[in-house]
Chains A and B, each alone.
Chain A
Amino acid sequence: MKRCKEFTGFEMMLIVSARQIKNNDVIFGGIQWPFLVLQIANRLHAPNINIILETGTVHKSMPEKLPFSIIDPIIVQDSIYIGDSIDSLGFLQRGEVDIAFLSASIVDKYGNCNTTSIGNYERPKYRLPGGGGATEVAALSKKLYWLLDEHNPRRLVPKVSFITDLGFLNGGNTKYELGYPINAKPEAIITPLCILKFDKEDKEAFLDSIYYNVKIEDVLKNTGWKLKVPDDVKLVDPPTVEEIKVCREVIRESISQLYILKPEWIKYLDKL
Chain B
Amino acid sequence: MISDNKLMTVKEAVKKYVNDGDLVFFGGFGNCSVYSVVHEIIRQGKKNLKITRCAGGLIFDQLIGTGSTNYIITSHVWDGIGPQPLWNFKRAFEKNIPQKVIYHEYSLFGLNMSYLAGYLNIPFMPIRSLVGTDIYDKPESIKNKFGVVKSPFSDDSICVVPPIKADVGFIHCQRVDRDGNAQIWGLIGDIKLGINACKKIIVISEEIVDTEIIKEIPNLTIVPGFRVSGVVEEPWGGHPGNVQGFYNTDIKYIFEYAKETKTIEMWEKWLEKWVLGVEDRQEYLKILGKNRIKELKATPKFSHGINFGT
Contacts and interface: CB of A to CB of B under 8 A. Distances in A.
A and B assemble together: yes
Contacts of A84: 112, 188-190, 192-193
A85 B81 contact: no
Interface in B134-158: 134-135, 138-139, 156-158
B40 interface: no
Interface in A170-203: 174-175, 178-181
Interface stretch (B18-26, B86-94, B169-177): B86-94
Interface stretch (B44-52, B69-77, B203-211): B69-77
Contact of A86 (B113, B130, B242, B248): B113
B8 interface: no
Interface stretch (B103-111, B228-236, B260-268, B274-282): B103-111
A225 interface: no
Chain B CB count within 10 A is highest, among A32, A56, A181, for A56
A132 B74 CA distance: 8
A136 B133 CA distance: 10
Interface string A115-159: 111000110111101111101100110000000000000000000
A10 B188 CA distance: 34
B301 interface: yes
A132 B156 contact: no
Given A85-B108, A89-B109, A260-B84, A130 B187 contact: no
A209 interface: no
A136 B54 CA distance: 14
A1 interface: no
B30 interface: yes
B107 A85 contact: no
Chain A interface residue bracket vs B: 35 or more
A35 to B, nearest CB: 12
Contact of B132 (A73, A115, A166, A181): A166
A139 B129 contact: yes
A112 to B, nearest CB: 8
A130 B107 CA distance: 8
A133 B81 contact: no
B244 A135 contact: no
A106 B135 CA distance: 16
14 contacts: A32-B82, A54-B108, A55-B188, A85-B108, A89-B108, A93-B128, A116-B105, A116-B135, A126-B94, A132-B75, A175-B132, A178-B132, A180-B132, A258-B255
Interface of B: 29-31, 54-55, 74-78, 80-86, 89-90, 93-94, 103, 105-110, 112-113, 116, 127-135, 138-139, 156-158, 185-190, 192-193, 241-242, 244, 248-249, 251, 255, 298, 301
Interface of A: 32, 54-57, 68-73, 76-77, 82-86, 89, 93, 115-117, 121-122, 124-127, 129-133, 135-136, 139-140, 162-166, 169, 174-175, 178-181, 257-260
8 smallest CB-CB distances across A and B, nearest first, come from A71-B30, A135-B107, A127-B93, A133-B108, A130-B76, A129-B78, A132-B76, A89-B109
